[in-house]
Amino acid sequence: MGQNWRLGDFGETGPFMPERDEAPTQAKPRKELHRLMIEAAHRTIGGKAKDPDSPSISRVEAAMQRNAPELAGAPAAELALLEAEREALMNRRWPRPRLLSLILVGTLAALVPTVMMRLLFWSLVLFIVSAVAVGPERVRDALNHFGLWFLGYWRHELHLAQMIISPRD
């Protein structure tokens, strides 16, 4: 039949099964093997696998403390200091792009008042629908919070626009 199916003589291989070349594997150095065995023993008994002089927090925890201290459990004084730094950065920012958008909205309101009236009408409709859905007090508080945030965010641009519109003599 020529398929090399035989029940005996298993040491011999047929033409379809080439002999495996036995490549010599390189043994690990004895020192490295000893270190790996010690580390495995430490891990199985629950000890530390790292050196005792390594830092006590992981790299993930360190990055979290750096990027999101409020989630990492930073003290309140440190959070207040970070918030003050962020507020100082926002106050130093050059307001040109936001001022440009404020001028654009004002110009649009002056030149095409029908678009602004439509926006005003639909905002009133959304206010009434949300007041019916969640209650007027919640909508009032949300709009108050949004208004305070808006005034804080656009504080410099509104001041510059006010100085442009009514300059002091």
Instruction: Write out pLDDT tens, residues 38-57.
Output: 888 888 887 554 555 555 77
Q: What is the pTM of this model?
A: 0.38
Domain locations in the chain?
56-92, 94-165
Instruction: Write out pLDDT tens, residues 80-102.
Output: 888 888 888 776 765 667 777 77
Rounded to 10 deg, the angle between the 96-111 and 113-134 helix axes is 100
Instruction: Write out pLDDT tens, residues 119-135.
Output: 889 999 999 999 999 99
Give the whole-angstrom CA distance, residue 63 versus residue 40. Answer: 28
Residue 29 pLDDT > 60? yes
Q: Could you tell me the pLDDT band of residue 79, with boundaries at 50, 70 and 90?
A: confident
Give the pLDDT confidence score for residue 41 in this predicted structure. Answer: 85
Give the pLDDT confidence score for residue 56 in this predicted structure. Answer: 76
- Tokens 């398929």 correspond to 3
Give the pLDDT confidence score for residue 152 in this predicted structure. Answer: 85
